[in-house]
Structure 1
Amino acid sequence: MSIRSIILIAVGLFLIYLMFTVGAPFLLALIVAIFLEPLNGFFMKRFKMNRLVAAIISCTLFTVIFLGLIVLLGIKIVAELIAFMKKLPHYFENANDFVDKLLIDARGMYQTLPPDAVTTLETYLLKLTDTITTLVAKLSDTVVNFASTLPGMFIFFIVFFVAVYMFSFSLNTLKSSVLSLFEEESRPKVDQVLNNLRKSIFGFLRSQIILSAMTYILSLAGLLILDVKYPMAIALLIIIVDILPILGTGSVLVPWASYLILSGDVFTGAGLLVLFLVITVFRRVVEPKILGDSVGIGALSALISLYVGFKLVGIIGVFIGPLIVIIYMAAKRAGLFQNKIKL
């Protein structure tokens, strides 16, 4: 591989990283505009509209439906999230009191132990108490930080909606501009790559939506059966955490279940552990299959790209890893990579 090819690949990976960070609203807007393009074509062909009018109607329909869903579902979830975040410090304070009581009660049980063992045990218990206190402080900071991000989220969505309209207005000219960067004989292959990318990316997004929806349903059903407060908010938190291929739902459900079992609520604690096992098995079994079928890559390749992307870049890598594999497979199907190993 030439130095020029290596530089182009490095620049391409860097641009992909930027798209998933600072360019996120524009990337999402471009995806939505591509998704709305068949509707634009329908309006232009069926009602003899020009692109500007068709794009305004389709984008307005998308905006109204999107905001309507936020109003119908978001208000309830946000209300539960706010109430849940307010209660979290209280829960951890109870846990702190529980550990203190456990420490006092345990002293009478281990007085017969050697002094060194008693000192070591008390040190670990005191560290646990300090950890809980630190968590309470961090949770309070999290509430404040969440409130401080609201103006940024408002700006994000304003830019996103405006970009949807702008991309929808000029999507055909944008594609022509991209194709004009390549030589005449290379344009059919590039066009094929773009079409394959469109199908694969939408397949990837569809698979993530399906997995998240199924995980949310499982989590919500389990929490409702266990009669847990704020089930919608907690189920949403489980989905967000479950995106991480390393931490997963265990970082939420396992400590919570352990605390409930130690505090005497064995039924709810055991139920949360069962819910954790069900969600984990479901995600690990179904995710590679759904992702592989949706984007046209193998289940093993999908799993490896998720894991490697997360380890190298973090949470953004969960999306960048499969995207890189998708781009490579699209280019390979278009005939851009035909090199064979010759011994």
Structure 2
Amino acid sequence: MSEERKAAERLLLRLLGIAAAFAVVRWVLPEIWDKLSPFIIAVPVAAALQPVIRFLQKRIRLKRSPASLIPVLLLLFLFLGLIIWLLIFVIEQTPKLVAHSGDMITESINMIRQAFNNLLTRIGEATDPGVENWIRSVVTSGLETVSKWGSGVAEYVGGFALSLAAATPYSIIYISFLTIGLYFISKNYDEIRSYLPGGKRRRQDSRTTQLTNSTLKSLFGYLRVQGTFGLIVWIVSWIYLTIFGFPYAGITALFCGVMELVPMIGSGVPYIIMSIIQFLLGNAAAGVQLLFLTLGLQLLRRVLEPKLMSDSIGITPLQSLIGMFVGMRFGGILGLIGGPVLMSVLVGAFKGELFVPTARDFHLISVWFKNRLK
């Protein structure tokens, strides 16, 4: 059998493998996650608890079982405390959001409209009145669309809160299975770890193992960094906006904390827009306060980011930007957030030379076609 035919067969097998992988991701993995998610979540959590378990075994002289049980219970109490606090926050804020959603949206729209009117008045002094009227009509139409969208979002949030409350019994059962599974996985982690990528029962020199390790490192590093900054922005913003008496401080802080999860956009964009609106309305003090908040959050990120990020993601800002845009085109907002993660996987594949055999086979076949056409 010629080398060209072998290369063609290898390429065909790789294409079939890609199709099978797509089918697994599209249909099989969602079912696995639905049926086994508590135990899947427990594996990385158990890995994170191993230093604490080893400390209790070596320094406190505890056996493996109690050394595994203690951090699991502490983590459970911490998690339940956080959930209770979050539920109290939701219970307090959701009725206000539902009851005052119309007023909140109307106030926001009126504020934006007044800011644009002030801006258009200044523009009208320097341009033709027809231009001012055209801009005014476009802005009015846009604000009406935003108003309808805001009402829909408020209704969705209210419905989501009710669904969350209705799911509480299932959540308790889910957490129970997660806790018990976490204990057993933590107790037998060394044995389980040996079968995972990088474990002693896996080939350490294979490209697949190296790619998996790089991908997992990038994925968890990215999620950890983005989640940390989102939480920081939420808490700091909530405290800051409350101190200076901004209306709807909790909801605004939560929205900007979520926006911080979106790479290259973050909380700076909404805060700068809010600041500009305040300046156009003549509220210079509020505008300056929002600018100081934005500046403080950005400085905090610039100070902490190198330490937290380190080499956890392993992609350049340009690669992250490309991943964001491609992800947005395919998956909207979720794609915008997940695009850099997929880009880190792709970069890891290139660094692990996963595509080198495929490229070699393509080159071999292209040379064969070129020689045939001579």
TM-score, normalised relative to structure 2 = 0.63
Question: Equivalent of 1:130, from 144, 164, 185?
Answer: 144
Equivalent residues of 1:257, 1:273 under 8 A apart = yes
Tell me how far apart the structure 2 counterparts of residues 153 and 294 of structure 1 sit (CA, whole Å): 39
Match of 2:258 in 1: 240
1:268 and 2:278 matched: no
1:71 and 2:84 matched: yes
Match of 2:33 in 1: 23
SS class of match (1:219):
helix
Q: How big is the shift at 1:307?
A: 1.8
Structure 2, unmatched stretches of 5+, are 1-9, 364-374
Alignment of 1:1-343 (within 5 A): 2-9=11-18, 12=21, 23=33, 25-26=37-38, 27-41=40-54, 46-50=61-65, 55-72=68-85, 75-76=88-89, 79-80=92-93, 82-83=95-96, 86-95=99-108, 99=113, 120=134, 123-124=137-138, 126-128=140-142, 130-131=144-145, 133-135=147-149, 137-151=151-165, 154=168, 155=170, 158-159=173-174, 162-166=177-181, 168-170=183-185, 171=189, 174-175=192-193, 186=203, 189=206, 199-216=217-234, 219-220=237-238, 222-224=240-242, 226-245=244-263, 248-249=266-267, 252-254=270-272, 256-273=274-291, 275-276=293-294, 279=297, 289=306, 292-295=309-312, 297-300=314-317, 303-304=320-321, 307-308=324-325, 310-311=327-328, 312-317=330-335, 318-319=337-338, 321-322=340-341, 325-326=344-345, 329=348
SS class of match (1:295):
coil
| CA shift in 2, pair 1:21/1:316, >3 Å | farther
Greater CA radius of gyration, 1 or 2?
Answer: 2
Equivalent residues of 2:315, 2:347 under 8 A apart = no
RMSD of equivalent CA atoms: 5.1
| CA shift in 2, pair 1:36/1:302, >3 Å | farther
Structure 1, unmatched stretches of 5+, are none
| CA shift in 2, pair 1:188/1:74, >3 Å | farther
State the Cα deviation string for residues 119-161 of structure 1 (Å, max 9, x = none).
7466446425533542453244134323233147644574355
TM-score, normalised relative to structure 1 = 0.67
| CA shift in 2, pair 1:128/1:295, >3 Å | closer
| CA shift in 2, pair 1:229/1:125, >3 Å | closer
Aligned residues with identical type, % of pairs: 20
Q: Which amino acid aligns with 2:77?
A: V
